[in-house]
Chains A and B, each alone.
Chain A
Amino acid sequence: MVKVNYRLCIDASGCNKCLEVCQNGVFTTYPTNGTFSKGSTWRINPTLLSRCIGCGSCQRSCPKGAICIGLN
């Protein structure tokens, strides 16, 4: 179970480290106001959790320490 702490990960655009390291394609990112609208902040979303193998690479790669992997 992947959890993202949005108080630590406020805007993912320009970072996207977790998207890069996850080889199973668990994450997607989306803009809070709409894709092409001005002033959108981007959020990381653990979308396809059934693809997660619990390798922990996202947790290790996150510069803000915002990702936590739980047991279920």
Chain B
Amino acid sequence: MCEFCIKHGEGKKWYEVMRNYSRELYAQDNRDQFVTEFLNNCQKSYATSMPKLDWLKRKIPLTYGFIRKLATHEMKKYHFGQVVPLEDAEAIVDMVQSVTRIPCVCRGATRGKMARYCFVLGVDPIGVLRDYPDLKSNLEVIDSREAKELLKKFDQEGLIHSIWTFKTPYIGAICNCDHDCLAYRTQVSADLMQLMFKGEYVADIEPDLCVGCQNCKRLCQFGAIEYSSLNNKCHINALKCYGCGVCRAACKKDAMKLFERTSLDQLKGVW
């Protein structure tokens, strides 16, 4: 159980709780306005704030350390993500009232292209985004079967699934991320701050089944898989593993399994 499960989980994993997707919750705290403004402004605010944090990290490390903590603390209140494996993402799709494919704002910023990789959950995006005709023509409401098929396809391509809050604890989106995700770049590539938390699981390889093909290693976005040539086996560095489960799609021998993160003592506090 992570800190979010303790706060919003009612004894379960926090993203398994129906309330966190409900219309009642969405209707509170001006979330409509928050989502609208967020989608419209996030690229600009990212481009104006991140260079400052990046500069601070290089020039004034002590101040940076403080700001980094503060920024993560703020993001936890408004908009943060957590990695979920395919089967949990599929379970979420079954729970929510509607799924809408939208163009990924991250890829818009990092590649300059509209690519519909993200799913908005429950939110009525046509209503929320009524003022943006360009976007409206790019939205597509899909049923849970289509959503699951897409999730599976993305999984095989090696994209990580993650859930995102809009004013925590409302979970409003499932993203399918890689190097072009702003959160990934901030956290994994540049290590500037934390805003995408590790999943509730951690992967492990059954050594007897592993044949050392390294297909999983090529798919891992987090560099968590290590290889020994002498042993001809792959090994998972649990400290780096995000528990996305993408490696399983690559393993022909079915040697990968996901375990509850909390079952490993050495991962206490690693999120």
Taking Cβ atoms with an 8 Å cutoff, the residues of A that contact B are 12-13, 15-16, 19-20, 24-25, 27-32, 34-38, 42-43, 45-51
Contact = CB atoms under 8 A, between A and B. Distances in A.
Which of B39, B54, B186 gathers the greatest number of chain A CB atoms within 10 Å?
B54
B43 A49 contact: no
B240 interface: no
Interface residues of B, number: 36
Interface in B40-90: 40-44, 46-48, 50-51, 54-55, 57-58
Contact of B110 (A19, A43, A46): A19
B111 interface: yes
Contact of B51 (A15, A25, A35, A47): A47
Interface of B: 39-44, 46-48, 50-51, 54-55, 57-58, 105, 108-113, 129, 131-135, 179-180, 182, 185-186, 189-190, 192
A48 B185 CA distance: 9
Contacts of A46: 51
Given A34-B41, A36-B39, A19 B51 contact: no
B43 A47 contact: no
